[in-house]
Each structure stands twice: as structure tokens, then as C-alpha cells.
């Protein structure tokens, strides 16, 4: 849960900022307040190397991080290298990841990504955006997550369902395409905050700005949000 908004955080109103203020003016205050509310925000997926980060992120599509972590606790003991995912029959891998949902497509993506990792990258997950997005099942969102968490490289902002929802509601972007939303976010969020603020937005999306009925009454940035229900 987010930390409660302090009197200092509420000064955005006193400063004349509101939900109808241009995002370029509201963004710094939104970033500050939400960062204070979620000081420990970080990726929830458990991993110990780049391959595990890649596989966990692919499995996380349409699945909770908690379920993914539950599955990978045993999966990562059985599959330690990219070659391991290619050695077993495809049906066996499907059975191993079935609890994460959409396991047929995920199994194909994991195996084909690992095949390219073995054949083109000597068994090692590549560490650049250009190379990562050539892997099956990897778009910019997944590449950003892998690069930032596994390699400490930040080239953009990972736009998952939570980030997309909050970007639209807070007025950071009016786009629906994740790549266009990312570009809008990168224009108003300082580069040195791209990585950590991604997880601040995700945590806020899970705890307060939920999809069906956002909890605007407890949101620390409701006074800066054009979508606020209060």
C-alpha cells in the first residue's frame, strides 16, 4: 500500500497545479509524490540471471507475478541454460508452465527465443534492445525489463498494462499503442527516472489506480489527475 500523502505532498494544489494543468508542469510533482509513496518499488519477478529474467517476463503475460514466481521456483531448477529448454519435448515444457496460462504460445516463444540465443548469441541472452527484440516473444516492454533488471541498461520505459492505464489516466499520454505511450513518457519523465519510476507506476496501478474502479479517494495524486473521480 502507498504511504499516505503528507502535507508537503499536498502542496501541489497550493502551487496552482491541477488535473487540467499541462502534463509538463504536473509531471515533476506526480513523479515526486508517487516515488515517496512507493520508495521500495522494484520488479516483482524473481530471477538470478538474464535467461531467468527473460523467461519470467515472457511467462508474466496475462498472468500475475505471484503465479509466475510460484512456477519458476521449480522451473529454474530444471531449466538452467537456453539449451535445456530445447532438449525437452515441447509438450513437457508446456506442462511445466501451464499454470501461467496461454502456455502453448508461451512455450513456443520460450523455445524459439532460446533457439536463437543458442544459434546466434552463443547461448547468452543479448544485452541490447536491437538484439533482444529479434527474439520470439520479445517486444520493447520485455526488452526494457530484461535490460534494466538483468544488465542495468536503460533505454526506455517498460509499458505493461498498469503503466499503460496510468499513463492514460494521469494524462502522460493519450495513445493506446505501447510504443507510442513509451515515447510520450520518455519526453516528460527524466531519463534517470525511467527505470525506477516504471515500477512506481506498476505498484500504484496494483494498489490504488486499479483497472475496474480506481481508489481515487486515497490516491496521493488525485489533485493532479484529470481522471480523478473526486
What residues act catalytically? 141, 160
How far from 163 is each of 65, 166, 189, CA to CA, in Å? 15, 5, 13
Tell me how crowded residue 212 is: count the other CB atoms within 10 A of its CB.
4
Which backbone phi and psi does 144 adopt, to 5 degrees? -60, -40
Looking at the chain, how many residues does it have? 230
Q: What is residue 192's three-state secondary structure?
A: helix
- Distance from C-alpha of 32 to C-alpha of 38, rounded to nearest angstrom: 10
Residue with cell 489527475: 225
Where would I find the H helices in the chain?
11-14, 23-37, 50-59, 65-78, 82-87, 90-97, 103-120, 129-132, 140-146, 161-170, 178-188, 194-207
Tell me how crowded residue 14 is: count the other CB atoms within 10 A of its CB.
9
- Distance from C-alpha of 23 to C-alpha of 51, rounded to nearest angstrom: 37
How far from 180 is each of 65, 176, 210, CA to CA, in Å? 25, 7, 22
Amino acid at each position: 500500500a502507498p504511504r499516505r500523502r503528507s502535507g508537503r505532498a499536498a502542496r501541489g494544489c497550493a502551487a496552482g497545479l491541477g488535473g487540467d494543468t499541462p502534463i509538463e508542469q504536473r509531471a515533476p510533482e506526480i513523479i515526486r509524490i508517487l516515488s515517496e509513496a512507493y520508495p521500495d518499488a522494484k520488479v516483482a519477478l524473481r530471477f538470478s540471471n538474464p535467461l531467468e529474467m527473460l523467461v519470467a517476463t515472457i511467462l508474466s503475460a496475462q498472468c500475475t507475478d505471484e503465479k509466475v514466481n510460484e512456477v519458476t521456483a521449480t522451473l529454474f531448477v530444471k531449466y538452467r541454460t537456453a539449451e535445456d529448454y530445447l532438449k525437452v519435448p515441447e509438450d513437457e515444457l508446456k506442462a511445466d508452465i501451464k499454470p501461467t496460462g496461454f502456455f502453448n504460445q508461451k512455450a513456443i516463444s520460450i523455445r524459439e527465443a532460446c533457439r536463437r540465443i543458442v544459434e546466434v548469441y552463443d547461448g547468452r541472452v543479448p544485452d541490447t534492445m536491437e538484439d533482444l527484440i529479434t527474439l520470439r516473444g520479445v517486444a520493447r516492454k520485455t526488452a526494457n525489463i530484461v535490460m534494466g533488471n538483468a544488465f542495468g541498461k536503460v533505454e526506455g520505459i517498460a509499458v505493461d498494462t498498469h503503466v499503460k492505464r496510468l499513463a492514460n489516466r494521469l494524462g502522460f499520454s493519450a495513445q493506446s499503442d505501447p510504443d507510442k505511450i513509451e515515447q510520450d513518457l520518455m519526453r516528460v519523465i527524466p531519463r534517470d527516472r525511467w527505470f525506477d519510476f516504471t515500477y512506481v507506476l506498476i505498484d500504484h496501478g496494483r494498489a490504488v489506480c486499479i483497472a475496474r474502479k480506481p481508489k481515487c479517494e486515497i490516491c496521493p495524486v488525485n489533485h493532479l489527475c484529470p481522471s480523478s473521480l473526486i
